[in-house]
Amino acid sequence: MAGRGAQKGRSRWWIVHQWAGLKLSLFLSFILLTGTLATLSHEIDWLIDPGLRAYPESTRADGAPSASWGQLMDAAKAAAPGARIERLSAPYSGWFAAEAIVLDTNGERFRIYMNPETAQVQDTASWFNAQRLFRELHRHLMLPTRIGIPIVAFLSIPMLASFITAFVVYKKWWRGFFRLPKWRPGRRGEGRRFTGDLHRFAGLWCLWFVGLIGITGLWYLIEWGGGNARPAPRPKAAIAAANPDGAALDTLVATAQAAYPNLRITSVYFPPKKPGGVVVMGQADAWLVRERANSVWLDADTGAVMQVFRGEDHTVHQRISEAADPLHFGQWAGFGVRLIWFLFGLVLTGLAVSGVVIYWLRIAPADRAGVRTAGFMRATWQGMGRFGYAAMLATLVGLCLATLAVFQQI
């Protein structure tokens, strides 16, 4: 009786596991794929736009540009007379150009790519690129963020349900890490058995990744619901919005470096609104924080340091908020980690698809030769039920808005 009760309990967990992976499988696969591409979207832009490329010797070992920040500022201003420079960024990695984000007189943003050694302008490009396309599709379906973020972040719930139930439905799961799936031709039902073995094997090795993506996705949902951490307070005194010339900017950056010696500067930001001033940002001693967590705020008119923020001084709540993006996209230790995130993202997308295939192989009737008499798409759509319409609608909305955005750039 005890064994029968345990089996019944496991069956209930299996139903939950199947429901979590099936009902929104179409939308989940789409979001997983766009998120996977987003992890290497900078590299995709590098392949698409030759102006974004630079030689490895063009940057110092710490990734900062060899040309001074002031030289980059002067070059960007000369390339866009009358425009406002919003941000200067160091090369994303050794093979990338330095970048300026510019706001023209019509209020349109665009990019200027500069050689990080000579500050020579290499190209100008649209604000909208592969990085923006995949990031905005994955994050909020290119809808207004207040609408799109909760729709996407809700997927963290079925993902975490799949993660938890996997430990129950897969008996003695710890033994399966090195149990390689084997194809045995000629056996009836071999496709179903092999697909199930492959799904379990890949799922085991992806468990840590499923948990990580599910937890960070849930955190985005919590933030949307009002649980977001308040950013570090900005300087109380209003500072004039500034776009200093190159020589003045070099002086300001030197002042910021002296005030925060451990700061590895990755960008310089010029806030257009209160409190204004110049913000020098980068990475320092704190782990898993965005560059904004380490910053020096300066008054461009007087050269005075208004405030210094260090990532390690943030509250626990703020540190959790800062860590979400680096963990979710693998942006915390260079290209090698992003490549790992990309590969596991592909496997995770494959798991979402293979789970649906397993469902079809289990429920679709077959003739004596083992041939399924119900089509895959029809059986899957019936399995998704009413959720299929919501999944299809969300996916189509994202695809249509992405297509429209791409055509606007052509």
Which DSSP string corresponds to 386-403? HHHHHHHHHHHHHHHHHH
What's this model's pTM, rounded to 2 decimal places? Answer: 0.88
Where do we find the tokens 């990734």?
63
Of 398, 347, 354, the residue nearest 30 (C-alpha): 398
Residue burial 195-221, b: 16+ Cβ < 10 Å; e: rest:
bbbbbbbbbbebbebbebbbbbbbbbb
The residue type found at 141 is L
Look-up: residue for tokens 């930001």?
A: 269
Residue intervals of the chain classified under CATH 3.30.505 are 50-128
Tens digit of each residue's pLDDT, the chain (410 residues): 445 555 555 567 767 777 777 888 889 999 999 999 999 999 999 999 999 998 765 445 555 668 999 999 999 999 999 899 999 999 998 889 999 999 998 889 999 999 999 999 999 999 999 999 999 999 999 999 999 999 999 999 999 998 988 888 887 888 888 888 888 776 666 777 888 888 889 999 999 999 999 999 999 999 999 888 877 667 776 677 778 899 999 999 999 999 999 999 999 999 887 777 899 999 999 999 999 999 999 998 889 999 999 999 999 999 999 999 999 999 988 899 999 999 999 999 999 988 888 887 776 655 444 555 556 777 778 778 888 889 899 999 999 999 998 887 76
Which of the four CATH numbers 1.10.10, 1.20.1560, 3.30.379, 3.30.505 does domain 50-128 have? 3.30.505
